[in-house]
Structure 1
């Protein structure tokens, strides 16, 4: 499903349940040895997806350990992103020579909990949401906005190694094309090798999920 909103140069794998018998590398297993079952399942399955996606690029299985701020540690020369929510896990990867960064996010297609929109949305974003088509459109717009912001951060961080707050990007959703545009409102850190002004992404709503993706060419 997620491959519908990603370019051909990206390899992906997704799961709608947690398969039995999936093994972790010892160093991965050590990280979740004391975690609750839910956390162990999502951690394990999303790494299974990641290894399937890497195999599609011709790469052997390897540990995928969380690094700074939890960002996945991909093999040299690889960019990628992972996401998980109830009933869904996915991972996407590409060669760095093809894309500079990728960010994906999946969320349940349901309204955000009370108060969350006020915490994550800028005033102009709330105005845009009010102007979007109402039911029976397939997406919950507030949840889609949240997901798009998550994909923006996951694309931004590998390029900058810097934090990005929710209010540091202004997002406009485009229902007619199932795309979104994110305007970055902060200066690009010196740690990045190029100025970052905007990201363009795609989204879909299907199987009670909203999924967003950014494939940034650099």
Structure 2
């Protein structure tokens, strides 16, 4: 499903259940004490990742979480994973074509009480009210959260730094099913160009919200 909002130079694999999935010993060590739900999410996301590696022609490799939980990819590969109830996905690309990827999936429903005030800036709250007034669409407050999660996932590999919810302001286009996240802090310099915003696409389907950012590598002339 996620491939519908992705460019052709990445590979996506998603699943709606948890088939049997083997883990590398290093991954098993990470998840050995986890509850069953967490274990299934972890294993199925890595099954998606290894199927995507195979599609790229990359040998299977462990995907271990880093200090901030970010996935560690094989050399020459960039990617992102996500999971929520009933959905797991991985999107991978080769670093020669793609600089960074950020994806997220959330159930299409209201945020838990109190969460919106923690993640949304005043101008975003006004934007959400305008969207709700003019469009009988998905849960835009949950979509905002989903976008900000994908922004962080695209940001972190480029900077190695935390990005707070209040450090990017998001605008959602319901007609084009796109979004822009304008950074409110200095952005990274990638291939000689400073990144000041991230743009991406979103979809609402089968009770899910999915967001994706793919930062292309600058083509050398």
Q: TM-score w.r.t. structure 2 length?
A: 0.94
CA shift, 1:137, in A, is 3.0
Following the alignment from structure 1 to structure 2, what is the Cα–Cα distance between the partners of residues 211 and 200?
A: 14
Where does residue 81 of structure 1 map in the other structure? 80
Q: Is the 8 A contact 1:160 1:191 kept in 2?
A: no
CA shift, 1:139, in A, is 1.2
Where does residue 156 of structure 2 map in the other structure? 157
Decide whether aligned partners of structure 1 residues 41 and 7 sit closer, same or farther in structure 2, where only a CA change above 3 A counts. Answer: same
Where does residue 7 of structure 2 map in the other structure? 7
**Which segments of 5 or more consecutive residues in structure 1 lack a partner in the other structure?**
none
**Which segments of 5 or more consecutive residues in structure 2 lack a partner in the other structure?**
none
Following the alignment from structure 2 to structure 1, what is the Cα–Cα distance between the partners of residues 173 and 189?
A: 32
CA shift, 1:129, in A, is 0.5
Q: TM-score w.r.t. structure 1 length?
A: 0.95
SS in 2 for 1:132: helix
Where does residue 25 of structure 2 map in the other structure? 26
> Which residues in structure 2 correspond to 1:135-214 (within 5 Å)?
137-188=136-187, 194-214=193-213
Following the alignment from structure 1 to structure 2, what is the Cα–Cα distance between the partners of residues 192 and 30?
A: 37
Q: Is the 8 A contact 1:203 1:211 kept in 2?
A: yes
Following the alignment from structure 1 to structure 2, what is the Cα–Cα distance between the partners of residues 127 and 134?
A: 11
Decide whether aligned partners of structure 1 residues 172 and 191 sit closer, same or farther in structure 2, where only a CA change above 3 A counts. Answer: closer
Following the alignment from structure 2 to structure 1, what is the Cα–Cα distance between the partners of residues 113 and 134?
A: 19
SS in 2 for 1:89: strand
Following the alignment from structure 1 to structure 2, what is the Cα–Cα distance between the partners of residues 136 and 190?
A: 36
SS in 1 for 2:194: coil
- Does 1:128 find its partner at 2:127? yes
Q: Is the 8 A contact 1:162 1:189 kept in 2?
A: no
Following the alignment from structure 2 to structure 1, what is the Cα–Cα distance between the partners of residues 91 and 194?
A: 24
Q: Aligned residues, how many?
A: 217
